[in-house]
Amino acid sequence: MALLLNVEDYRRQARRALPRLVFDYIDGGAEDERCLQRNRDALEALPLISECLRDTSKVDIGTGLFGRRWRAPFAIAPIGLAGLVRPRADALLAGAAQAAGVPFILSTASNTRIEDVRNAAPDATLWMQLYVMGERAIAERIVRRARNAGFEALVLTVDVPVSGLRERDLRHGFRVPMRLTPGTVLDMARHPAWLLRLAGGGMPQFANLLPDEDDGAPVSAQTQAALLSRAMDRTLTWESLGWLRKLWDGPLLVKGLLGAEDARRALRHGADGIVVSNHGGRQLDAAPATIAALPAMLDAVGSRIPVLVDSGMRRGSDIVKALALGASAALVGRAPVYGLACDGEQGALSVLQLLAQETERTMTLLGASRVSELGRRHVEMQVPRSHTEHVVHASVPAHGKASIYPAHAAA
Ligand SMILES: Cc1cc2nc3c(=O)[nH]c(=O)nc-3n(C[C@H](O)[C@H](O)[C@H](O)COP(=O)(O)O)c2cc1C
């Protein structure tokens, strides 16, 4: 077994464990994958400034949101079609989240039923992610089922009016239901452990789009695929939040925002939180890095609602950077899925533990013994004027000091 020391090690191991089309579905981004890269570049280019000689004999990386204690300041982001990686992937990820003491967000496009995820992780903090498709009754049913299963927050994803162009998937002929070409058959045959598991669990279906047991005949895979790809409701607007409010009385978050004005709109329309996200670089390839978009959005909403952020988090230090800028928490998407591909629930848990340890070590190095002690002073440097030629993003936070993101990490 390879020595897996960091998320990138898990990623490489996942690449070996999965057929290429499955790995590329998880790993890939939209079009030229510039946004995917931009997320990483911006995080890597942002230095952290330590404060020394502070008592860090006890460091607590826990945080709290919506009345719940999280053992670490991150949650698992919603991942659709994770069942391609392993049967029951959603339940396994929820189990890992429960063991790590962090929330799990179940995708509308999950392959495990809402109720089965709850049964697999009875003590986990579970949130439900919602895509609103053309037929609003589908969304209404999902919200009702999530509430009945004790899901605690609803996360409305708004950055997918249409799916991003994922060229890796197109090159593999990847689609739902899967169309097997000689190339994909060979690829799968080279991964017998994955194939055996899939044979045991069956082809993943969009379990939450199937009718309830007593609701009538099952929907074919073709219909499900059509439902999910064509049928996002493009008439959805900010006013639609009022419709959701009537269905859901718990915390309602809006995921996929990148602009300060949208952050204000979310606040005005009664959102209880926002997730600054570019969908991990899978939607608008020209979108900004989330860590670069974050400060202006935080300044727009102040401390009135929690602001979470995702896209490109691969190290505990990335999470600390987001917290230091003022985010309440981060979401991690691909990282735990790489762990899942390597070693099921245990692999996902190992990645969560790794991220927690890295977060704790980074905070200790910064001299911060609690999340609330992190602040913008940890991410701000006074950069001499002559060094600002390579600036790709410079935001001026409310208190007036420029925060500088150089185009390249300091040489
Ligand atoms: C394979 C895959 C499937 C995803 N499916 C969904 C989804 O169903 N709903 C959603 O809101 N976001 C979805 N996302 C986006 C994630 O929730 C999250 O925003 C993103 O993965 C964060 O970036 P990271 O993977 O770099 O951590 C998906 C991401 C990936 C990689």
Which candidate, 316, 300, 281, 272, places its Cα nearest to that of 61? 316
pLDDT at 40 over 70: yes
Catalytic-residue membership of 279: yes
pLDDT at 408 over 80: no
Higher pLDDT, 156 or 385: 156
- Mean pLDDT for the stretch of residues 251-262: 98
Directed axis angle between helix 20-27 and helix 334-366, to 10°? 50
- Ligand 1 neighbours by CB, cut-off 6 Å: 25-26, 77-80, 107, 109, 129, 157, 255, 277, 279-280, 282, 310-313, 332-335
- What is residue 220's predicted lDDT score, i.e. its pLDDT? 65
Cα 336 to ligand 1 centroid, rounded to whole Å = 11
pTM: 0.92
* 3-state secondary structure at position 255: strand
Give the pLDDT confidence score for residue 394 in this predicted structure: 42
Atom of ligand 1 nearest to the CA of 313: 27
**pLDDT, mean over the chain:** 91
Q: Which residue matches tokens 């959603």?
A: 90
With a cut of 80, say whether residue 192 has pLDDT above it.
yes
**Which CATH superfamily, name and number, covers 7-378?**
Aldolase class I (3.20.20.70)
Give dist(CA 27, CA 56) in Å, integer. 36
Q: Is residue 113 over pLDDT 80?
A: yes
- Asked whether residue 359 carries a pLDDT value surpassing 90, the answer given is yes
- Residue 341 near residue 347, CB atoms below 8 Å: yes
How far apart, in whole angstroms, are the C-alpha atoms of residue 258 and residue 255? 9
pLDDT at 217 over 80: no
